[in-house]
Structure 1
Amino acid sequence: MKKNFYGILFLICRRIVRIFYPKYTVQTPKNSGPVVYITHHQNLFGPYILLLWFTECIHAWILHVFLNRKACYDHYVNYTFTKRFGWNRTLAAICAFFISSFVPNLLHSSKGIPVYRGSRKIVHTFKHSAEVMSNGESIAIFPDTDYSDTSSEMKDMYDGFLSIEKYYFNITRKHVCFIPLYVSKKKRKIIADKQIYFRDGKPFKEEKQIVYDQILAELHRLAALCGDIKQDGKG
């Protein structure tokens, strides 16, 4: 297993940011093999903290537009800065030019895996993921249907990510170890406890729903355990 696969740019930037950003402690179960961590996005908070403070190197699933300079620029100009932030197009274009010159390089250095949502190219995402896992490396996925939601409660998730089970099993004949991972603002902690697997000999469609429900329930439990939401799921 390759312990550290991050690039120099990412490592330098992470070291600089760690000087100024409060430290988050990490509490996760020990694993001898690769893991797929499932985490709440929370409008970028989840990926940001995980890549900043997680003690294990991980390949984060990243929307493919942020890994390509032109696509990244278009996304910031036509969506993020104009539609989400309400900026005028000139200001959006200026900021997008500088940001899109840096962000793709940083994310490539972090060894992120491009995600092609709503495209047949999603197959490449699954194949790439299965390959890095077969090398003993772990993955982090942020499957929120509403990435802009800043609340501590994980609501609906896309369930397509669970298809990674089929690709990994075809290569290794082993089931994926899914671990729900919660990033707590209140406790300044990255916490996980439960390992979730598909069961042997069960139809994929049937198991898919069961695993989905278990992951979502565990993320709610961890959020409540940290005091970020109430036990009934209301934050």
Structure 2
Amino acid sequence: MKQLKKNFYGNFFRICRSIVRIFYPKYTVQLPNNPGPVVYITHHQNLFGPFILLLWFRECIHAWILHVFLDRKACYDQYVNYTFTERFGWNRSWAKICAFLLSFTVSKLLRSCKGIPVYRGSRQIVNTFKQSTAALVKGESIAIFPDRDYSDSSSEMKDMYDGFLSLEKYYFKTTGQHVCFVPLYVSKNKRTIIGNQGISFRDGQIFKEEKQIVYNKIQAELNRLAVECGDIKQDGRG
């Protein structure tokens, strides 16, 4: 396994993170040692998961980010045509003003934290897998937030996109090793980022069948951690 690389974030992200850390409550990290670079799978929770993970995680990680947020013009269009108008119901003129100001900062910040662009529903998704594989080979870990409903702020991990599991094919083809997927839960109740041992594909199994098994294990572990932290009650509410 490659030794984990550290400190690949850009200066702009580091400065912004340092400022936000002054005002935002600290989250501790409870995570066993998973040797080598890993792929962390985390609950999005309406941006809460990515925000806390990038703010307080103890190592640098490449977050999978929808490609539009890494390009200023595409980010502006996303805010104007969907986020502020369709989702939040803002007046279009007001949305344009806010989008113009915010798109500069967001796109620059996410590029500075070395996010990996995700091209959902496009053949360019191949570039996402190739870039992710290259990062892992260099010893750099990745974070993926696969929730289908990104606006769901509940603690329960529900339906996930399963396409991220195809990263196993690219990584195995390149290295002959299996990807280590680590379910990582961000607990509001305990102010903790918590994970356990990684989950990997097994040797000699049919990919389609093994993919469903790994999917189920990741989802179950994220929800188990949510219950353990008290974010989800035993009756399933949370």
Q: Tell whether the structures are fold-level matches, with TM greater than 0.5.
A: yes
Shift of 1:92: 0.1
User: What are the equivalent positions in structure 2 for 1:210-229 lying under 5 Å apart?
Assistant: 210-229=213-232
Aligned mates of 2:46, 2:105 — CA distance in 1: 20
How far residue 232 of structure 1 moved from its aligned partner, in angstroms, is: 4.4
* Match for residue 187 of structure 1 among 187, 190, 193: 190
CA contact (8 A) 2:32 2:196 kept: yes
Q: Name the SS for the 1:60 alignment partner.
A: strand
**Is 1:100 aligned with 2:65?**
no
What RMSD, in angstroms, separates the aligned Cα atoms of the two structures? 0.7
Q: What do residues 79-127 of structure 1 show as CA deviations (whole Å, max 9, x unaligned)?
A: 0101111110000000000011111111000000000000000000000
What is the one-letter code of the residue matched to 2:169? K
In the alignment, structure 1 segments of 5+ residues that lack a partner are none
Q: Aligned partners of 2:173 and 2:129: how far apart in 1?
A: 12
Q: Which residue type is aligned with residue 4 of structure 1?
A: N
CA shift for structure 1 position 29: 1.4
- Identical positions, percent: 76
Mapping for residues 1-235 of structure 1, pairs under 5 Å? 1-235=4-238
Matched-pair contact (CA < 8 Å) for 1:194–1:218: no
Q: Could you list the runs of 5+ residues in structure 2 that have no partner in the other structure? A: none
For 1:88 and 1:143, the matched residues in 2 are separated by: 30
Aligned pairs, number:
235
The residue identity in structure 1 corresponding to 2:189 is K
| Cα offset, 1:212, TM superposition | 0.1
Tell me, yes or no, if the aligned pair for 1:165 and 1:175 is still in contact at 8 Å. yes
* Structure 1 residue 195: Cα displacement: 1.2
Give 4+ residue runs of structure 1 displaced > 2 Å after superposition. 231-234
Aligned AA for 2:85? T
**What secondary structure sits across from 2:178 in the alignment?**
coil
Q: Which string of whole-angstrom CA distances, capped at 9 and with x for unpartnered residues, describes residues 22-42 of structure 1?
A: 000000111220100000000
Give the residue type in structure 1 aligned to 2:86: K
The normalised TM-score by structure 2 is: 0.97
Distance, in Å, in 1 between the alignment partners of 2:83 and 2:39 is: 28
